[in-house]
Amino acid sequence: MSSGTLALLCTHAPLVGCFGALVVLRRAPRAAAALNILAMLASLGAALAIFAGSNHQPPTIISLWLSSEGVPISFGFLLDGTNQLMGIIVALIALCIQVYSLGYMKGDPGYARYFGLHGLFAWAMLSFVYSANLLQAFVFWELVGLASFLLIGFWFEKPSAAAAAKKAFVMTRIGDVGMFIGLILLLSSTSTLDIAQLMQASTLASIPDARLTLIALLLFCGVVGKSAQFPLHTWLPDAMEGPTPVSALLHSATMVAAGVFLYARFHPLFVAAEGVSNIVLVIAIITAILAATIAMVQRDMKRVLAYSSISQLAFMLLGLGAGSLYAGVFHLTTHAFFKALLFLCAGAYIHQIGSNDMVTMGRQGAAKLRLVSAGLVIGAAALAGLPPLAGFFSKESILAALHGAHANAFVYGAYLASFLTAYYTFRMVFLVLRPSDKSVLPAEEHEPHPHGDVTGSMKLPIAILTVGAAAAGFAGDFIAKLIGAKALHPTYGEMAPAIGIALAGVIVAFFEFGRKDAAQQGFITRVGALDTLFERKYYLDEIYDKVAGGLVSLIASVSAVVERGVLDGTGDLAGNLTIATGDATARMQSGRLQLYIGSAVLLIVVFCYFVGGY
């Protein structure tokens, strides 16, 4: 098969699954699930085949979609290394999570719908990844947003889930507006939206500097919204309202990864745009530390992981912003594995114990799930950046990139963030696996209600991802070759502080949470104000509510005046005028037949007079 056919198969097989599940097989949920998993298998196979055959195939397949005023808009597939890598990751993770969902979603009334939406999500994400055209990419980017909206709000009968879905949709939309404007500016500056063409140095050089910066910033807006960076990050933790596998999908390879992937895709543009990388670095470091501090005090396991995702995405942007495509993409890859793993482990605990609360999990004997717990430890170690697991290598390469960019302030910030990461990660591990009798943490208010045992179909993906999380770190050189960027090999001198910091974080976490008879109270509780600040997520939700609410009421009051005065006035005027005219003309209808005839004759006479040319 040609790579074009393969790409078509890869991207659209999930759509077939989606259609089958949502339309044809609504009443046969098991068949729907099987169909979707088969479709994902086909996608994964096709993605691998594209990769295998990439040496002797043209990298781009394009056909004209539409042409507007001489500007051709094409539709097609771009099959370069970055896209191939991302496609494989997306297909693999999505497949794992679908298999996992077989057990996790068992008995749910929306079983078929769930798998159908998964198919929709996979279709949108894969199509986005392989898009050859920015407009096409934007279409699928929005479809990814739609699919995540549907999945976050999967249990839409829960008001909180519906609200969370809405929030995710609106928040990402804020960024997308900026991105769309950037896209239009890009089109007007270069007359093309072809990604491969756009990324050529000559094309980029043809755009004026100021405009290039503006475009880069606007595109970055989209990245900020999608990848949940400060200040648009608040939707991601709320998105935990969806089923846990959905969170795993959103956080690892798809939704939030789309933002970082877009940045990676347009890396040359961001590098060429002056001053943008500093803004990116600032936003990334703020996000990394902010999210990590919030994660320190959360009790809900999924929320800890959500904030950790935000923080790790910020790390990727740090690497990309420091100018290293390799570091960012590498971390994106490894993160996809270990974050999916961690979420699936969390899902397994939630499934078995029936609570999201880490303390409850620990007290209910989470450690008894041996395979899951092993996965959790390995995933956590990878997240914390302990050698020789996946996260270690990618985080090191990010730090090396920051070193290379001589951005010292950001290096220290990254050290702080990685210390916090190690700390909150192992706080989570210890809370879940080593419950303490002396714990001062109060029990949860709700009684846990378990869903059922962890099935084999849930264990298999966890096992696969555990291997991935452990081994993906060694793929650095391979990835560098694939995406055509220079691999970074930090020296031991550079690595030592990072390892030390990560270990320090783990040790602090052990003393506070993991020891026998530990009080399980973080050091941050000694500073009550900070604790509350982190607990309340920096009050950002409240501030947004106030600002947005105030803005809305302001606009509303202005609109009300305009509406009552101008619009209503105009409407009333039109109505009254019509009525008045009607009254006036009705009076002419006097009911005097002879008056009518007389005026008609008179008119005819006058007409004849003029037409007759007297």
Partner 1 sequence: MTLSHFLLVALALFALGLYSVLTRRHLIGLLIGVELMLNAASINFLAFDRFVVKDPATGQIIVLFIIGLAAAEAAIALSIILSAYRAHRSADVDDLDELKN
Partner 2 sequence: MDAVHPSAWAFVVVALGGALLSVSLRNILHAIFGLALALFGIAGLFLYLGSPFVAAMEVLIYVGGISVAMVFAVMLAYSLGKKEGGSTRRFLAVVPVGGFFGVVGYALLRASFAVTSKTGSWDLKLVGRKLLLDYNVVFEALSVVLLLAIVGAIIIARRDEKTGDDKTADEKAASKGNDAASAEERAS
Beta carbon nearer to partner 1, 543 or 604: 604
Answer yes or no whether residue 614 interacts with partner 2 by CB under 8 A: yes
Strand (E) positions, 32-149? 60-68, 71-78
The Cβ of residue 532 has, within 10 Å, a number of other Cβ atoms equal to 12
- Residues in touch with partner 1 (CB under 8 A): 586-587, 589-594, 597-598, 601
End-to-end CA distance of the chain: 88
State the binding partner of 605 from partner 2, partner 1, none, CB within 5 to 8 A by kind: partner 2
Q: In the complex, what is the shortest distance from the CB of residue 599 to partner 2, in angstroms, rounded to a whole number?
A: 8
CB 276 within 8 A of CB 220: yes
Beta carbon nearer to partner 1, 55 or 585: 585
Q: In the complex, what is the shortest distance from the CB of residue 595 to partner 2, in angstroms, rounded to a whole number?
A: 8
Answer yes or no whether residue 604 interacts with partner 2 by CB under 8 A: yes
Q: In the complex, what is the shortest distance from the CB of residue 583 to partner 2, in angstroms, rounded to a whole number?
A: 24
Q: In the complex, what is the shortest distance from the CB of residue 609 to partner 2, in angstroms, rounded to a whole number?
A: 6
Answer yes or no whether residue 497 interacts with partner 2 by CB under 8 A: no
Beta carbon nearer to partner 1, 601 or 606: 601
State the binding partner of 604 from partner 1, partner 2, none, CB within 5 to 8 A by kind: partner 2
State the binding partner of 68 from partner 2, partner 1, none, CB within 5 to 8 A by kind: none
Answer yes or no whether residue 596 interacts with partner 2 by CB under 8 A: no
State the binding partner of 559 from partner 1, partner 2, none, CB within 5 to 8 A by kind: none
State the binding partner of 591 from partner 1, partner 2, none, CB within 5 to 8 A by kind: partner 1
Q: In the complex, what is the shortest distance from the CB of residue 571 to partner 1, in angstroms, rounded to a whole number?
A: 26
CB 389 within 8 A of CB 378: yes
Answer yes or no whether residue 606 interacts with partner 2 by CB under 8 A: yes
CB 239 within 8 A of CB 164: yes
Q: In the complex, what is the shortest distance from the CB of residue 612 to partner 2, in angstroms, rounded to a whole number?
A: 6
d(C-alpha 363, C-alpha 432), whole Å: 8
What is the maximum span of the chain, computed from C-alpha positions, in angstroms?
120
The Cβ of residue 239 has, within 10 Å, a number of other Cβ atoms equal to 28
Q: In the complex, what is the shortest distance from the CB of residue 169 to partner 1, in angstroms, rounded to a whole number?
A: 57
In angstroms, the Cα distances linking 141 to 123, 176, 179, 330, 350 are 11, 9, 11, 22, 31
Binders of partner 2 among residues 19 to 48 (CB under 8 A) are none
Beta carbon nearer to partner 1, 593 or 611: 593
Looking at the DSSP bridge assignments, the partners of residue 75 are: 63
Single residue of 450, 497, 575, 598 touching partner 2 by CB under 8 A: 598
Binders of partner 2 among residues 252 to 311 (CB under 8 A) are none
Answer yes or no whether residue 612 interacts with partner 2 by CB under 8 A: yes
Answer yes or no whether residue 66 interacts with partner 2 by CB under 8 A: no
Map tokens 């933790």 to a residue.
237
Single residue of 23, 582, 595, 596 touching partner 2 by CB under 8 A: 595
Number of H helices, E strands in the chain: 27, 2
State the binding partner of 589 from partner 2, partner 1, none, CB within 5 to 8 A by kind: partner 1
Beta carbon nearer to partner 2, 409 or 604: 604
Binders of partner 2 among residues 464 to 483 (CB under 8 A) are none
DSSP letter assigned to residue 563 = I
The dihedral of CA 83, 84, 85, 89: what is its sign? positive
DSSP letter assigned to residue 233 = T
Burial class (CB in 10 A: 0-12, 13-18, 19+), 499: middle
- Region of 176-184, 379-387, 444-452, 600-608 interacting with partner 2 (CB under 8 A): 600-608
d(C-alpha 320, C-alpha 406), whole Å: 14
Look up residue 182 and give its two tokens. Answer: 């950037």
d(C-alpha 448, C-alpha 158), whole Å: 18
Beta carbon nearer to partner 2, 474 or 607: 607
Binding-site size, partner 2 (CB under 8 A)? 13
DSSP line for 75-137: EEEE--HHHHHHHHHHHHHHHHHHHHHHHHTTT-TTHHHHHHHHHHHHHHHHHHHHBSBHHHH
- Region of 36-44, 172-180, 237-245, 595-603 interacting with partner 2 (CB under 8 A): 595-603
The dihedral of CA 525, 528, 530, 532: what is its sign? positive
State the binding partner of 602 from partner 1, partner 2, none, CB within 5 to 8 A by kind: partner 2
d(C-alpha 120, C-alpha 113), whole Å: 10
Binding site for partner 2 (CB under 8 A): 594-595, 598-599, 601-602, 604-606, 608-609, 612, 614
